[in-house]
Amino acid sequence: MIVRIGPNTFEIEYEGKTLAQMMREVGISLDLPCNGRGTCGKCKVRVSGQLSDLTDTEKRHLSSSEIGQGIRLACQAVPTGDCVVSAYSSAGSAAGNILVEGTPMQQQVVSQPLVKKDVVSPPAPAMDDQRYHLDRILDSLAELRPSVDRRKANVSLGTLQSLPDTLSKSDWQLTVAHTGDCVIAVEPGDTTGEHYGAAFDIGTTTVVGYLVDLSSGSQVAVASRTNPQVAHGADLISRITYSSQSVESREALRSEIVSALNDILNELASKAGVAANRIYHCTVAGNTCMTHMLLGLDTSSLATMPYVGVMGRAYHDRASQLGLNIHPDGLITVLPNIGGFIGSDTVAAAIAAGLDGRSGTSLLLDLGTNGELVLVHDREMFACSTAAGPAFEGAQIVHGMRGSAGAIEAVAISPKGLSLRVINGGEPMGICGSGLVDAVAELLRVGIIDFTGRLCPPLELAGRVDPALASRVKEDERGVRFVLFSNSEREISLFQSDVRQLQLAKGAIAAGFSILCKRAGISCSEIDTVFLAGAFGNYINKTAAVRIGMLPGIDEERIVPLGNAAGTGAKMALLSEELLDRADRLAASAIYIELGNDPTFQDEFMNAMMFMEGAAG
Ligand code: FES
């Protein structure tokens, strides 16, 4: 059969495959948030031609106007003959509004990186000085840096093989890139002005990379991508399920993320005009699942009790072992995890917030696909991970989408009516996490949603809610919904099921918060600062978060958004050997609390789902 996808035409053998499977085979990975289970309704494509009949799943997710326009779900529709796919959203293409910047570091970082560069000028060989080339270079280096032990220094075969050529170009002035006990490069002349490293924050949804000048400590370029693994599901469990299918699928996930890192490295290098072989070190922060997948480790045990992964300590290796496109002997450091799903992204965010050196009582909340919480009280640290679910990233919301162009990111109700703010302006295409929290908080305030989370049907609103607002509440076979936007082509609404998803997510966070406070022996209101990290944490309206009771007992003055704190922490660790050590100590000393094991969790969770400030406090 002939299938045309955008400008390309493919001849495909008919094997009863879905459109999504077919497109993946020809190299087009669609965004499949529920990994094709038919629960998210997000894999919409516009297609014409010969296809299987609409499935019940499609009838549930598609409006009659969408069906009329030829919209199908790619994970459900099966081509039965020639067809043309004219519109789709591919995974890993649109970077959207990826949050790349953190707030400035909470502490001054002096640039003392793990990988140093030193210029040495060893004497040329002579009849009365017959030391080997390498020995004379290492002896000179040890004179500069007494900690270097030339007998133990690890030098790669590649460096040795190219040494005669390097020396022939050097006139015995050389630059050595090294960590003290590991030589990364020996270069002719003085190249200390070209000394770079890259820091990565690998999120479940997005990947951000920073190129840093290791001499000056300044960031010289930043680049980001959607994590290409979203083609296997928006949530971690979908990806673990896929990864556990076979060695090949685990390898596919590993190679997808390595490719994304290399794409980012290429972009960083070209933006800054830096050669790849002048990048000597990469630090990586990510949740436990993401870093396991980067290293090609088996993740299946992370999804089943007692949720134990392969490794939590920091991982150091030559970057070439992973196929990263930097100096062939450059290093990679994957930062350490705390426990369970609390990975090195949380450790990096905690370093960025300066939690380990802080007195008083503070909380770090990293909000993304999961919600990670770290509480510091009297220099003791407690951490837990809540299954906040992908609601905040729009995945299980009927008209949800990520925070990219076209997403409703803010909702306000005033005497003048309803107003929406859309990312990049224009007509809305869907609603993202911050818009969802805003919408629910506003509808709670005006009484369209009650404290149990019920969207009140139109009949109950008459006489007590502004008629213009009440007219936006509709009820039909899909239940009650509040229409945020509609025109002849589309309607963007908040459904009852969306409110329930938000209740589950915020209930899990509030319950985790409450349990951490109990373990620390304090009440929730004793927290002096709440650091909000992660993309969603940065964009969320603090007033709305307080109103829905996400952090009971906390007022908005104490909430400090940190931006992409994991990325900031990864940069700090790249710049400072001491901070790399601090990350190790922080990860080892934090007390990991498994919420599923806490006998009070279910009660806390049920309480916290209600929309009452202080419900879980
Ligand atoms: S419904 Fe198709 S990927 Fe979720």
Q: Return the higher-pLDDT residue of 231 and 572.
A: 572
The answer to whether residues 402 and 495 belong to one domain is: yes
Final residue before a domain boundary, out of 500, 524, 558: 500
Per-residue pLDDT band for 407 (boundaries 50, 70, 90) equals: confident
Long-range contacts of 455-458 (CB under 8 A, 24+ apart): 455/479, 455/480, 455/481, 455/482, 455/494, 455/495, 455/496, 455/499, 456/480
Position 10 scores a pLDDT of: 79
Q: Are residues 395 and 486 in the same domain?
A: yes
Is residue 72 within 8 Å of residue 87, measured between CB atoms? no
Q: Which pLDDT score is estimated for 615?
A: 40
Mean pLDDT of 31-36: 74
Instruction: Kindly state the DSSP code that residue 337 receives in the 8-state scheme.
Output: P
Contacts of 421 (CB under 8 A, 6+ apart): 408, 409, 410, 411
- CB of 233 shorter than 6 A to ligand 1: no
The residue whose two tokens read 């669609």 is: 30
Asked if residue 64 and residue 25 are part of one domain, the reply reads: yes
16 in a structural domain: yes
Structural tokens at position 365: 């909340």
Q: Find the domain containing 30 and state its range.
A: 2-87
175 sits in which H/E element: strand 174-178
Most confident of 35-49, 464-478, 534-548: 464-478
Residue 617: pLDDT band with limits 50, 70, 90: very low
User: Tell me, what DSSP letter sits at residue 437?
Assistant: H
Q: How far apart are CA 447 and CA 449, in angstroms?
A: 5
Q: What is the mean pLDDT of residues 420-446?
A: 91
Residue 517 — pLDDT band, cuts 50, 70, 90?
very high
- Residue 327 reports pLDDT greater than 50: yes
- Is residue 36 lining ligand 1, measured as CB closer than 6 Å? yes
Domain boundary among 188, 220, 239: 188
Tell whether 458 is covered by a domain. Answer: yes
User: Under a CB-based contact definition with an 8 Å cutoff, are residues 143 and 359 in contact?
Assistant: no
List pLDDT tens digits, range 233-262: 878 888 999 999 999 999 999 999 999 999
Assess whether 135 and 63 both reside in one domain.
no
Q: Is the pLDDT of residue 40 over 80?
A: no
In a domain, 336, yes or no: no
Res 103 pLDDT > 60: no
Backbone φ and ψ of 61, nearest 5°: -95, -20
Which one has a higher pLDDT value, 582 or 29?
A: 582
pLDDT attached to residue 68: 85
Q: How far is the CA of 38 from the centre of ligand 1 (A)?
A: 4
CA Rg value for the chain: 27
297 lines ligand 1 (CB under 6 A): no
Distances (CA, A) of 550 to 199, 427, 488, 543, 547: 31, 29, 36, 11, 8
Tokens of 384: 């837990």
Report d(CA 86, CA 369) in Å as an integer.
Answer: 30
Q: Is the pLDDT of residue 468 over 90?
A: yes
Work out the average pLDDT over 271-275: 96
Substitution candidate for ligand 1 out of 23, 31, 34, 90 with most atoms within 8 A of CB: 34
- CA of 61 from ligand 1 middle (Å) equals 10
- pLDDT value at position 599? 94
pLDDT band at 609 (very low <50, low <70, confident <90, very high): very high
Q: Report if residue 138 sits inside a domain.
A: yes
Q: Are 355 and 374 in contact (CB under 8 A)?
A: yes
| Whole-number Å distance between alpha carbons of 515 and 597 | 11
Residue 259 within any structural domain of the chain: no
Query: Is residue 76 in a domain?
Result: yes
pLDDT of 361 > 90? The answer is yes
In this structure, is residue 439 part of a structural domain? yes
Q: How would residue 614 be classed by pLDDT, with cut points 50, 70 and 90?
A: very low
Q: What are phi and psi of 480, to 5 degrees?
A: -90, 140
Q: 163 C-alpha vs ligand 1 centroid, how far in Å?
A: 55
Mean pLDDT (the chain) is 89
CATH number at residue 43: 3.10.20.30
> Is the distance from CB of 290 to CB of 343 less than 8 angstroms?
yes
Q: Which residue blocks in 401-447 are alpha helix, DSSP H? A: 433-445
Q: Which of 18, 23, 24, 32 to mutate to test the pocket of ligand 1 (most atoms within 8 A of CB)?
A: 32
Q: Report yes or no on 457 lying in a domain.
A: yes
Report the distance separating Cα 384 and Cα 367, nearest Å: 12
* Closest CA relative to residue 200, chosen from 122, 267, 274: 267
* Same-domain pairing of 78 and 139: no
43 C-beta closer than 6 A to ligand 1: yes
Categorize the per-residue pLDDT at 569 as very low, low, confident or very high, splitting at 50, 70 and 90.
very high
Same structural domain, 80 and 147: no
CA of 65 to the centre of ligand 1 (A): 19
Q: Specify the ligand 1 atom closest to the Cα of 38.
A: 1
Q: Cβ(62) to ligand 1 under 6 A?
A: no
Ligand 1 atom closest to residue 34's alpha carbon, by position in its atom list: 4
**pLDDT at site 397:** 87
Q: Does residue 355 line the site of ligand 1, with CB under 6 A?
A: no
Residue 80, H or E segment: strand 79-87
Report DSSP state, residue 129: B
Last residue of a domain, one of 438, 468, 500: 500
Among residues 350, 349, 363, the alpha carbon closest in space to that of 566 is found at: 349
Tell me if residue 47 falls in helix, strand or coil: strand
Residue 214 has what pLDDT?
96
Q: 93 falls in which pLDDT band (50, 70, 90)?
A: very low
Q: Could you identify the atom of ligand 1 that is nearest to the CA of residue 30?
A: 3
User: Comparing 103 with 69, which gets the higher pLDDT?
Assistant: 69
Query: How many angstroms separate the alpha carbon of residue 572 from the centre of ligand 1?
Result: 38
The model's pTM is: 0.83
Contact 74, 31 (CB under 8 A): no
User: Residue 99's pLDDT is what?
Assistant: 56
Determine what percent of the chain is predicted with pLDDT higher than 70. 94
Structure tokens at 97: 């509004």
Query: What band does 187 get if pLDDT is binned at 50, 70 and 90?
Result: very high
Spatial distance between the Cα atoms of 180 and 184, rounded to a whole number of angstroms: 10
Least confident range from 290-294, 320-324, 611-615: namely 611-615
- Residue 40 CA, closest ligand 1 atom number: 4
Going by pLDDT thresholds of 50, 70 and 90, the confidence category of residue 150 is: confident
Count the domains in the chain: 3
pLDDT tens-digit readout, 58-86: 988 887 878 888 889 999 999 988 888 87
In this predicted structure, what is the pLDDT of residue 97? Answer: 53
CB-based burial label for 459 (10 Å; 0-12, 13-18, 19+) = exposed
- Ligand 1 centroid–CA 252 distance in Å is 20
pLDDT for 94 = 40
Q: Are residues 83 and 127 in the same domain?
A: no
* Rounded-to-integer distance, Cα 509 and Cα 417, Å: 31
At 123, which CATH number?
Answer: 3.10.20.880
**Ligand 1 pocket mutation pick from 18, 31, 40, 44 by most atoms within 8 angstroms of CB:** 40
Read off the pLDDT of each residue in 378-405 and give the average, rounded to a whole number.
82
